[in-house]
Structure 1
Amino acid sequence: MTNGPRTVLLGATGYLGRVTARALVERGLSPILAGRDGRKLSQLADELGGLDFRIADARDRGSLTALINPGDVVLSTITPFRTVGEEVVRAAVTRRAHYLDVAPEPPFVRTVFQKWGRPAREAGVVVMPSVGFSFSPGNIAGAAALQEAGSAATRVQVAYFVLGDFDQASFSAGVLESVTGALFEPGLVRRDGVIESEMPGRRERTYTIDGMERTAISVGGPEHFTLAQFQPRVRDVDVYIGWLRPDPNGKSLLPKSATSTARLSPGRAITKMMHRRMVREATGGPDSAGRTAMVSMVVAEAQDQAGNTLARVTLTGPNPYDLTARLLAWHAIAVPNCGPTVAGATGPVNAFGLTAAIEGARQAGLERVD
């Protein structure tokens, strides 16, 4: 696709970056690949048919400003976002470019919405964090559940699961650094219409999936912002992830001891040491067969004030990597068509409308199963 806004992919040579680059090309885009390693960029550009590439460093404001043009769609897969992500947001907004990322880190999500929402709105551009398995499906499923539940719904609970045959080696170092590192940072929750700080894992909930009980722990996500944008009567929003804790088959990203002590002072030092070792030992990420063995699932429930479930929406799709890459590709095509009324920090439903967001999710491989 040669006409229209440029698509700029930062972090292109990382594991998720490479998967995303291929997904963009499959959708007809010709992204500009950007990163710090010129040799790797050149190799990937050649593999994908001779794409353009640029050397840029997320820690170097000047290189980012030189890279980004007004009207661009900037995609960031650089991790961890809590240390290197904000300069990319700043550069995109300053240069009046749309910005999308894959951040699964609650503190960074909060920064994007609360610090960069207004500047993005004034610049007439969209900034959308957490496009991908974490956490676009929950935005879509939660909004669909709210719509089905009707006016009595004031609460939403969203939970994410990874099913299938996976282990620690199924996750790249970037994912491990972002997701597990976020366990040690203040998260967020929406209570009585107010965004509050809350450490991850403070609450737990058990879901029965395929006849098996799976424990999920509370985390922060963009749903705390976006579902209230979609339906202002929403007062409480909870987000859970169920792939950090063991299910009865022992499938998890971290052992129970790690997730249960991450928020407790006596266990933090030990858990941080486990986290650092796990990231050091991480491989480059799963091969195509390893990705195929995993399945993504999100469950959203709309509830009344008393906690009664009024509607439930369950979506399943491909593994988190391919799902994220395909969602990013669809968003990269769709976001330039957003009008000025949706400029600012937002989610897919508020940017494109629920019907279009559901269609985008379907094209990425997400299907409703209930």
Structure 2
Amino acid sequence: MSSRILLLGATGYTGGLVLNALLRRGVRPTLAGRNATALAALAERSGGLDHVVVDATDTADLKRHLSPGDVLVTTVGPFERLGHSAAEAAAETGAHYVDSTGEVGFVRTVRDRFGQRARETGAVMLPAFGYDYVPGILAGTLAVRQAGAAVRALDIGYFATGPLWRGISKGTRTTMRDGLTLPSPTWRGHRLAEERTASRVHEFDVQGRRKSAFLVSGTEVLFLPGDFPALSDVTVFNGWFPALSRPLTLISAVANALIRLPGGHHLTSLLTLPLTFGPPGGPDTTERARTRSYVVAVASTGTRGAPPLAEVRLEGPSAYSLTGELMAWAAQRLVAGAGEVAGVVGPVEAFGLEALREGCAEMGLVPEP
């Protein structure tokens, strides 16, 4: 029996983008989820796809539908709450795994809890294989390679162009709000450390202008130091809204202070509620076409005031379109046996730099002209 792709969460917004990307590639996944009626309707609309009813939070249920060499693709989040069973099921059965999480804490848990088992069963596990955080890992890898032996530090900034606020899904806005009170992992002094989200602001050159970005989490800090042991510092920043970067440092400080007080969770929710305002659902095709992703990676010696050793800038489709394409690309390669290293690994380790660069170029994620 040939291996198959099992798509968990296809009836949701991100899952629908992955499904459409797979179908455009001529790949017919098996749809999976809890809502039998919605699954059947979607399967019929998509050309009569196979579908199975399964609980994403039930490891045993998921394992019954997986075999070694299959690919489990999941967009069911929040992953810290709902994602552990899917990761465990893949690691235990030897099925490959791709998810859409932006939650770095979840990725750390998956690596620590299931990495060894995945190596034993031959599962290639790729958490956060979307806009979060493949572009930064690709740009960072290219920058470090260009920088040469003197490189010690890497700063990565995520930016966007176009009318972004209308081009952000409700889920993303909520995740951004919740993330202000979660620590951001950084790679500092050759070890993982945690800093308050938005506690620092960094400026990057973006299309000829200096733009601010605030400290966030990113899987770059988990995977790039293993690829480049000389790196003592890796930090990730978000510059989607440059004008808000410095005000967010204050909001983050107040929110993190309030949350420690009695009733602090409620007060923090009220303080950060405006960050969730916006249209429901996610951006449609027209809205996604109006926004583009932009990622900068700056490699340096880490010495204050020293000029950069190398800078790489990548431009591509909207964050959501890119996520759908990246996950579909990875799933298609994994089901064909192209994964190079079993375990919980980053995109470069999984496929090799040239394959990843070529794949991203096909999706439109390319160096700035």
TM-score by length of 1: 0.90
Aligned CA distance change for structure 1 residues 75 and 277 (closer, same or farther; 3 Å): farther
Q: Does 1:49 align with 2:47?
A: yes
Q: Does 1:180 align with 2:177?
A: yes
Determine the structure 1 residue equivalent to 2:114. Answer: 116
The correspondence for 2:258, drawn from 259, 262, 265, is: 265
Partner SS, residue 186 of structure 2: strand
Which region of structure 1 is more displaced relative to structure 2, 176-185 or 212-221?
176-185
Cα deviations by residue, 1:45-76 (Å, 9 ceiling, x for unpaired): 12221111122222222322222222111111
- Which whole-Å CA distance do the structure 2 matches of 1:166 and 1:280 have between them? 13
Deviation at 1:270, TM superposition (A): 3.7
Determine the structure 1 residue equivalent to 2:70. Answer: 72
Which region of structure 1 is more displaced relative to structure 2, 106-115 or 266-275?
266-275
The CA RMSD over aligned residues, in Å, is 2.4
- Which whole-Å CA distance do the structure 2 matches of 1:268 and 1:211 have between them? 41
Cα deviations by residue, 1:70-94 (Å, 9 ceiling, x for unpaired): 2111111111111111111011111
Instruction: Provide structure 2 residue ranges, at least 5 long, that are not aligned to the other structure.
Output: none
- Which whole-Å CA distance do the structure 2 matches of 1:119 and 1:367 have between them? 35
The correspondence for 1:150, drawn from 130, 133, 148, is: 148
Instruction: Provide structure 1 residue ranges, at least 5 long, that are not aligned to the other structure.
Output: none
- Which whole-Å CA distance do the structure 2 matches of 1:202 and 1:235 have between them? 20
Cα deviations by residue, 1:154-181 (Å, 9 ceiling, x for unpaired): 21111111220122x4322333343432
Q: Is the 8 A contact 2:181 2:252 kept in 1?
A: no
Deviation at 1:256, TM superposition (A): 7.4
Partner SS, residue 309 of structure 2: strand
Letter aligned with residue 201 of structure 2: E
Question: Residues 234-245 of structure 1: matches in 2 within 5 Å?
Answer: 234-243=231-240, 245=241
Deviation at 1:282, TM superposition (A): 5.2
Following TM superposition, where does structure 1 have runs of at least 4 consecutive aligned residues deviating by more than 6 angstroms? 254-257
- Which whole-Å CA distance do the structure 1 matches of 2:361 and 2:278 have between them? 35
Deviation at 1:302, TM superposition (A): 1.2
Aligned CA distance change for structure 1 residues 288 and 257 (closer, same or farther; 3 Å): farther
Q: Does 1:319 align with 2:318?
A: yes
Q: Does 1:86 align with 2:79?
A: no
Q: Is the 8 A contact 1:314 1:369 kept in 2?
A: yes
Deviation at 1:127, TM superposition (A): 1.2
State how many pairs are aligned.
361
Determine the structure 2 residue equivalent to 1:189. Answer: 186
Aligned CA distance change for structure 1 residues 179 and 91 (closer, same or farther; 3 Å): farther
Q: Is the 8 A contact 1:200 1:263 kept in 2?
A: no
Identity score, percent: 36
Question: Residues 271-282 of structure 1: matches in 2 within 5 Å?
Answer: 271-273=268-270
- Which whole-Å CA distance do the structure 2 matches of 1:123 and 1:195 have between them? 28
Deviation at 1:234, TM superposition (A): 1.4
TM-score by length of 2: 0.90
- Which whole-Å CA distance do the structure 2 matches of 1:280 and 1:53 have between them? 35
The correspondence for 2:32, drawn from 24, 34, 42, is: 34
Deviation at 1:227, TM superposition (A): 0.8
